[in-house]
Each structure stands twice: as C-alpha cells, then as structure tokens.
Structure 1
Amino acid sequence: MKIVDKYILANVFLGFLAAAALLLPLFSTLDLVGELDDVSEEGYRLAQALQVVMMTVPRRAVELGPFIALLGGIVALGQLSLTQELSVLRAAGISATRIAFTTLMAGLVLALTLGAVDEFLASPLQQKALQIRAKAIAMTEKGSSKESSIWARKDGQVARIGGLRQGRPSQIEIFSFDDQDHLQEYIVAEYADIQPEGIWQLHNVRLKRWVNDEEEGIQQLDQLPWHAILPSTRLDEVSLPPESFSARQLRRYVLFLQGTGQPATQYEMAFWQKLGVPILTLAMILFSVPFTFGQARSAGLGGKLALGSVVGLLVYVSNQILVNLGLLFKLNALLVGVLPAFVMLAIAILIVCRFDRSSR
C-alpha cells in the first residue's frame, strides 16, 4: 500500500471517530430522555436507566454505521480539501476513483468491525439491558401490565408462557387439538422446571380432557412432564425484540418458526437488515467522495457536515420506513432488507465514476 493510501485511510478513520463522538452522545441522550418516562422510585431507577442506555451504546453505534460512514468521510475528505491536499493529489494524477477506492477500503473495515460488534457485543449487551429494564419495571404497578406472553405452536399443540419467574417459565397454558382442530386437552400450570432433552416438569397442574366434544372432568396434579414445543434458545431471549438478536439467534429462531408453521416475517426482516446495513455503510462512504469534491468551492466544512447530516437522516429514516412498509404489506424480507442497500451502493458507484469522468 502506498503512502498516499495510508494517509487517506488514516484521515478517514479519524473522521469516523469524530462522527461517532458527535452522534453517539447525541442519540444516547435522546435514548435516556425516552427512558425517563418509566423511571420511578419503587422499581426502575435513574441509575438503572443510565446503565441500560450505556449498555445499548454498541447497538446504537451499529444502527448509525451508515450515518457515521457518511459524516466521517465528509469530515476526512473535507479537511483534506480545506488544506488543498486533495487538489495536490488530483494534480499529481490521482483520480477521484482511486481516492474513492481507498475510502471504500476504510468503509469496509468499518462495516466488518460493526458487524463483529453487532454479533458479539451489541446483541448480548442489549439483551442484558432489556432484561434489567423489564425486571425493574415489573416491580412497579406501572410495569405489571407490560409483561408479554410467549406463544408457540407445533403438531397440534399451542402453548402460552405468561412470563418468567426467577428464570423459570410461569403461567403456562397448553392447548392440544386433534386433526379436525377440536380441543382435546387443556393444561394450566403455575410454573415449570426446564430439564434436559426438551422436557419440562410442570408444577401445580390443572388438566382438562374432552372426548367427542364432551368434558371428561378436571384433574389436579402436583407435577406433570411435558415435551416442550418451545425453541431450544433461552426463553428470556425469545421474549426480546428481533432487533436485539444476533444474526445466529435470528437464523435459529426463524428456522424454528418456519418449522412449526408460525409467522417469521418480522424475524426474517431483522436478519436480512443485518446484512443490508454493512452494504449501506459502503454506499454512504462512497457518497462522501463526490459530495466533498462537488462542494469544495461552494461550502465550507460546516456546510458540508450540515448537508451530510440531512442526507444521512433521510437515508436512515427512509430505510426504517421501507422496513415497516415491508412488514405491513408482507413483502419479501430479502428484498426489503438487502435490495435498497444494493441500489444505494450502485447509485454511489455510478456517481463516483461519472464525477471522475467529468472532472478530467
């Protein structure tokens, strides 16, 4: 690698750091303001809200990856433009395409780094933060109504888990149907102990059976073994939102939902989004190249950053709108999650090539 490439890369990486230092505190402050609505003296305290926000900073960094790439590229190349170093590089015969390629390499490093952070740091920390938040809010009357149930269906059985009590599933309901969808058995259990090989030991069980649509009475049992139809992943993970899952968790849960005939669109969308964000990051870093060259004479660095912020926000919001529309109209998850990012990348490449030809 030539000295010029190393110099550009070093400046772009510094630009990434500057953009992250600007965006992460801003968005974390907004997250904290949102958490204050649930803060109370009895359960969810301010210290816990601060802890939750700090633990979700890696997730916020991953989500803002394309935004950081765009602003970081503008900062780096804009500074080189102000010091006339870009002009010197162009006069020395280095094309805009060459500069764009070097900048793209920095974007690739950023995308891979954020992908690793997402998989091994952001997802575990966010899930832990959400569990801390849920347990704290559940201690208050305000949070008692927010506990969500976990549903599963497989081979004529439908199960509902009302919540988790000290890590154990509680408020369990199991419905068993025959081939004609007639209810044959209904089980209610207070809680269950999870045992190896997918067996749950149900406690304080009430069991109803029907034969030919006639009730055969009610049985009260202290314990009853049940072969669980819930996924092998931990229950406290299943109850979390899809965006907090790692790619591996999403893939495993999507396969479970598809294998049991349950809707999986939301989780499929989240999975393909994780692949689309790195591609969108590459597109945004490429956009910073013609953006900076094109604005070299007409605006200072502050104006470029302001315009870049508007563009970045528009891309961020548009991507979220597309995902929600995809869920609403049940569009193909692969197309919604990845295609817009590829389109943006193709447009960025075309703009860079066209700008390079026009500036020769």
Structure 2
Amino acid sequence: MILSNGQLLNRYVTSTVAGAMMVVLFIVLALDLVFAFIAETDDLKNSYQFPQALEFMMLTVPRRIYDYLPLAAFIGSLVGLGTLANSSELTVMRAAGVSIARLIWMAMKPALVVVVVGLLIGEYVAPYTEQRAQTQKAVQQGASDNLASSSGVWHREGESYMHFNAVQVDGTLYGVSLFELDVNNRLQSASFARRAEYDGGDWRLLEVSTTTFEGSRTNSRYAESVPWETDLTPDVLKVLIVKPEYLSIEGLYTYMTYLRAQALDASEYAMAFWKKVLQPAATAVLVLIAISFIFGPLRSVTMGFRVFCGIIVGLLFKYAQDLLGPASLVFGFNPIIATLAPIIVSAIFGLVLLRRVR
C-alpha cells in the first residue's frame, strides 16, 4: 500500500509523540516501582516476605499505569513535539502549509489512545488486581489473627460498627470485628470472627468469640459458626478494601448507592466517581496545554526546560484537584465542581495560548 505525503506526515508526527509518551511512562513507572518496593520492605512480617512483596508490586502495576497515564501523555507530548520543534521540523511543516489545527489533531491522536487504554485499565483491570494485592498482603501479614488491624477498613450499618481486616475477591472476609451499640451509643456486644463466608444469599461467621455487656457484668462465648444478618453483599464489600480512587466507575456507583440507602455520607466516593469519569477530559486538556506550549512560549527552549515546565504544570493541576476535592467535603459544594474547575481553567489557558499563535 502506497501512502501519500500527508499520510506519511501524519504517521510520523503521531508515532513520534506516541513513542515519547511510552518512554516517559516507562521511566516514571520504573522509578515509582523501585521506590515503592524499597518502602514495602518496612511491611515485611509473618509470611509476607520479599517474594510476596514482589508479587504485591506486580499486582499494583495496572493501578500505577492508570495513575501515570495522564502525566505520561502530557510530558510525552511536550517531549515528542519539542523534539520536532528543536530539529525545525515543525517550522518546515508550517511552511509547507500544514495548519495548526492539523498538527494539533496529529498530536492529539496518541492522547485519545491513552484515554481509551486508561478507561479500560481503570474499569476492568486495576480494581481487580489492586483488591487482590491488598487482600493477599493483609492475609499474609496475619489479618485473620488480628483484632481490627491497621490494614483493614471500618464500616457502619445502623447501630453496628464493623471492621474487616481483608476482603477476598470472592467476598470472603478475614478478621471480622463487630461492635453493637444501643440508641445511647453504649457498647452492647463485641465479636471477633476469624472468617466470614457468603453462601446462597446468607452470611456465616466462623470461629467467633463474642463478649456481651450487661451493666457491670460481661459474658463471653465461643462458637464455630453463627449466622450473620447484614445488608452487605460481596459486590459491595469488594469496594471496601480498595481506596476510592482505585475503584472502577461501576464499583464507585454501587457503593455510593449503598451508602445513600443507609443514610450515610457518600461524598468521598462521589468525589472519586467524578474524578474518574472526568479523567479522559483532564488528560485531553493536559495534552492541549502541552501542544499550546510547544507552539507558544516553549517553542525555542531546551528539552530539559520543557520537561521542567511540564512537571510544574502537571503538579499544579494535580494539586488543584487534590485541594479542591477535600474542600468540597469540608465546605459542602458539589464534588463535580471541584473536579471540573481545574479542567475548565486549564482548557481556557491552553486555548488562549493557541489563539496567540500566528
């Protein structure tokens, strides 16, 4: 198949930008894994040793790729287009009659691929591998033997407070602590089960130790198996062990619905939901800013300075979202505003710079 000059040019620019994105992603991911593995050695205990820590790191790779894709798209666009600018290839293209709009589209196509890949990883791969990684680590560290260990999560249902040390992918719970309070918030009973299993719509607690409080008297008992009445399901529980920002869009929506049905605060999960939904737009806007920099104020500077500026802008964008997100929880405004505001401001900034290009 013979390609026209326009098709060759399109493929050249697109492949240059895409290649730069891949290199940036590889470098950032490699550095992150090295430092994360060093930090992980502080958590070695029981059967969680170096081989298990290495497996944990490998399972978290999809989540780390998802986290760094927007940064890779942004810095990669700066580096790829900057390389073309330094060699005067962009100038030659412009002189040959290639419009700014066409060059923007050539550079934006790899970013659209990044957006699609990010959506697929964030929705179908990262939540599963992250949950498996966290659960395996907790179990290997002795989650079923510890009362309310720091590795688990708390949950409330009515007057019952629960803590789960680990939640397996199939919904099996390890290290289940249950605290029952009365209407005056006085502790009525405390139970600890080594494991909880879900079978045919019913929960059973296994190896359960229970202490009840009756005035100044306490009673303790042990049972191999007892039924457990709760509205929780494995689908809901799967999202508990993973941080909100690492969940799928579907998982966030499911848990938000459950929390609201229990009259509980779901704002943290709503913030993560909108941030995830709008991440494709955030990635596209960052790439737009990178393109506007290359055709504007950074068209004749060194590559190192471009990367430095890219890191600064990327950090400012991230910090803006990280600050506005918690602010929406404190001051009670809609989380979608906190997520959209940096995107809209950045888009306007990028468009203004592009309009100044002659």
Using the size of structure 2 for normalisation, the TM-score is 0.82
Contact 2:21 2:77 in 1 (8 A): yes
What residue ranges of structure 2 are gaps of 5+ in the alignment? Answer: none
Aligned ranges 1:47-126 → 2 under 5 Å:
47-126=51-130
Q: What percent of counterpart residues are identical?
A: 24
- C-alpha distance in structure 1 between counterparts of 2:334 and 2:342, whole Å: 12
Alignment partner, residue 309 of structure 2:
307
Match for 2:288 among 286, 291, 312? 286
Contact 1:39 1:46 in 2 (8 A): yes
Match for 1:337 among 331, 335, 339? 339
Alignment partner, residue 355 of structure 1:
356
| Residue 164 to residue 64, structure 1, CA distance change in 2 (3 Å) | closer
- C-alpha distance in structure 1 between counterparts of 2:292 and 2:185, whole Å: 65
SS in 1 for 2:156: strand
Matched, 1:262 2:271: no
Q: Which of the pair has the greater relative contact order for Cα pairs under 8 Å at 6+ separation? A: 1
Alignment partner, residue 324 of structure 2:
322
- C-alpha distance in structure 2 between counterparts of 1:29 and 1:142, whole Å: 30
Please give the per-residue CA displacement for 1:157-179, whole angstroms capped at 9, x wherever unaligned. 424245459834554436376xx
Which deviates more, 287-296 or 160-169? Answer: 160-169
Which deviates more, 18-27 or 166-175? Answer: 166-175
Alignment partner, residue 41 of structure 2:
36
Contact 1:147 1:163 in 2 (8 A): yes
Question: AA paired with 1:23?
Answer: V
Contact 2:60 2:129 in 1 (8 A): yes
- C-alpha distance in structure 1 between counterparts of 2:343 and 2:303, whole Å: 27
- C-alpha distance in structure 2 between counterparts of 1:49 and 1:342, whole Å: 40
Please give the per-residue CA displacement for 1:46-77, whole angstroms capped at 9, x wherever unaligned. 33223222322222222222211111111211
Aligned residues: 346
- C-alpha distance in structure 2 between counterparts of 1:248 and 1:74, whole Å: 33
Give the superposed CA RMSD: 3.5
Alignment partner, residue 18 of structure 1:
23
- C-alpha distance in structure 2 between counterparts of 1:259 and 1:144, whole Å: 26
- C-alpha distance in structure 2 between counterparts of 1:291 and 1:165, whole Å: 46
- C-alpha distance in structure 2 between counterparts of 1:143 and 1:56, whole Å: 26
| Residue 315 to residue 218, structure 1, CA distance change in 2 (3 Å) | same
SS in 1 for 2:227: strand
| Residue 140 to residue 45, structure 1, CA distance change in 2 (3 Å) | farther
- C-alpha distance in structure 2 between counterparts of 1:158 and 1:123, whole Å: 27
Contact 2:154 2:164 in 1 (8 A): yes
- C-alpha distance in structure 2 between counterparts of 1:168 and 1:297, whole Å: 56
- C-alpha distance in structure 1 between counterparts of 2:111 and 2:124, whole Å: 20
Alignment partner, residue 235 of structure 1:
237
| Residue 30 to residue 330, structure 1, CA distance change in 2 (3 Å) | farther
SS in 1 for 2:97: coil
Match for 1:153 among 138, 146, 157? 157
